[in-house]
Structure 1
Amino acid sequence: MSNQDLKEGILANPLNVSETVYRALLTGMCNYHQLNTCIGLEGALNMIEVKQVADYNEAKIKYFASQEQR
C-alpha cells in the first residue's frame, strides 16, 4: 500500500470527533471522560506530541539495531 493509497481514503477517518480528540485517545494516555473533564486541549496536544516523539524514537532504535545486525 502506497502513501497515495492512504491519501485517497482507504483508511477510515473520524467524522464526528476532532482529529485532536482522535489522536489523543489513540495515545492510550487518557480516556474520553478524562479528556473532557480534566485534561483539556493543551494536555491533549502534549500527549499527542509525547506519543509521536516516543514512536519516532522507537522506530529509529529499531532501524539502527537492524543496521548493526548486517
Structure 2
Amino acid sequence: MQFGNGQLRIITYLIHDKLIEKAKEYLSLSNMSISEIAFQLGFEYPQSFSKLFKKKTNVTPLEFKQGFHHN
C-alpha cells in the first residue's frame, strides 16, 4: 500500500496528536521523568520528544508538568 504526501502528513499528524495526548496523561498523572516518558512513547532521544511537545502545545513538557501541578 502506498500513500501520497498529503496522506502521509495526515497520518503523521494523527500519530503525533496521539503521542502528545498520552504524554499529557503521563505528565499529569505520573511521577515519571521527561526522559522516561519520552522513552515510553518510543522516542530515541528525549530532546526529540520535548521539541515535538513544544511544537504541538507551545510549552515544554516540564512547563506543562509544573503548570498542571500548580493548579
TM-score normalised according to structure 2 size: 0.36
Q: Say which one has the larger Rg.
A: 1
TM-score normalised according to structure 1 size: 0.37
Query: Going by fraction, where is helix more abundant, 1 or 2?
Result: 2
